Amino acid sequence: MSAKLPVSFIGLGALGAPMAANVLAAGFPLTVQNRSSDRALPLQRQGAAVAETPAQAAAGSRFHALCLSDGAAVRSVMLGDQGLLAGAAPGGVIVDFSTIDTATTTELAGAAAAQGLHWLDAPVTGGTEGARLGTLSVLVGGEKPVLDQALPLLQAVGGTITHLGPVGSGQRAKAVNQVLVAGSYAAVAEALALGERLGLPMAELVAALQDGAAGSWALRNRAPAMLRREFPLGFKLQLHRKDLAIAQAEAQACGLQLPVTDQVATIEDRLIAAGHADDDVSVLLQWFKGD
């Protein structure tokens, strides 16, 4: 199938905007839509069409990409007189890059199927860096033939595309990812706090640890800025806390306890209450500093 079939892209936040730019750069005819219209202006200057509503964005497109903050936002974009389903033609493929709960995914995939549309849940991981570089890891749930249709689109935004099973599997896999992120960021923050209290030369210590058994993405990509008490936005703390709630619910449903995740969630709640909701997840260091 042609890699140049038209795409609508809805949701131009910290991840969505660079992802949409990569879709455009890959040669797809692109129509974008965002609740705040000013977010669409850079893409419009690069050649994308801009729609006022999800229904208008979907009209004439074969693939419909979503990158939104939560399940309520996805539902709002999908349904209603001006929603995506009101404008999308049967046979199209909806690719939801958002991170939402599986119940909402299943509900909306069913609504799409009733109108002859296919659904892939395809949450991503790799941060804003991966979104800009087009190297995200895409975790896909859905039917394999539908994934094959959408593969050129997914390859425009991701370096690794992994099919994990039927609809909902991508969201469940993202829950696993966010548990790992929680533990990794918290461990880095705790270790940095300990190293500083012990009076160690921290820049040299972080450089030494990056390639050892303690090495991680968070240590390599966030620790240097954390030491400077800088938290450049890659992923908002409040969004990660939302994702942890999804993981906690999934674990509860299958009878599994997540003690480390529960502890990190409590720390995040306190930091959000202290005004850090819109800071990067690496702001976890502030809890260990008592700030």
Q: Which DSSP string corresponds to 171-187? A: HHHHHHHHHHHHHHHHH
How many angstroms separate the CA atoms of 194 and 199, rounded? 9
Catalytic-residue membership of 174? yes
Which of 4, 144, 174, 242 is catalytic? The answer is 174
Report the DSSP beta bridge partners of residue 93: 63, 118
The answer to whether 244 touches 178, Cβ cutoff 8 Å, is: yes
Structure tokens at 158: 């991701």
Nearest to 43 by CA among 19, 60, 59: 19
134, 156 contact by CB (below 8 A):
yes
CA 12, CA 16: separation in Å to the nearest integer? 4
Which residues are within 8 A (CB) of 261 and not within 5 positions of it... i.e. 6 or more apart? 179, 182, 183, 244, 247, 248, 251
Q: Which two tokens stand for residue 179?
A: 């548990």
Q: Angle at the Cα of 273 (from 267 to 274), degrees rounded to 5? A: 90
Catalytic residue positions?
Answer: 174
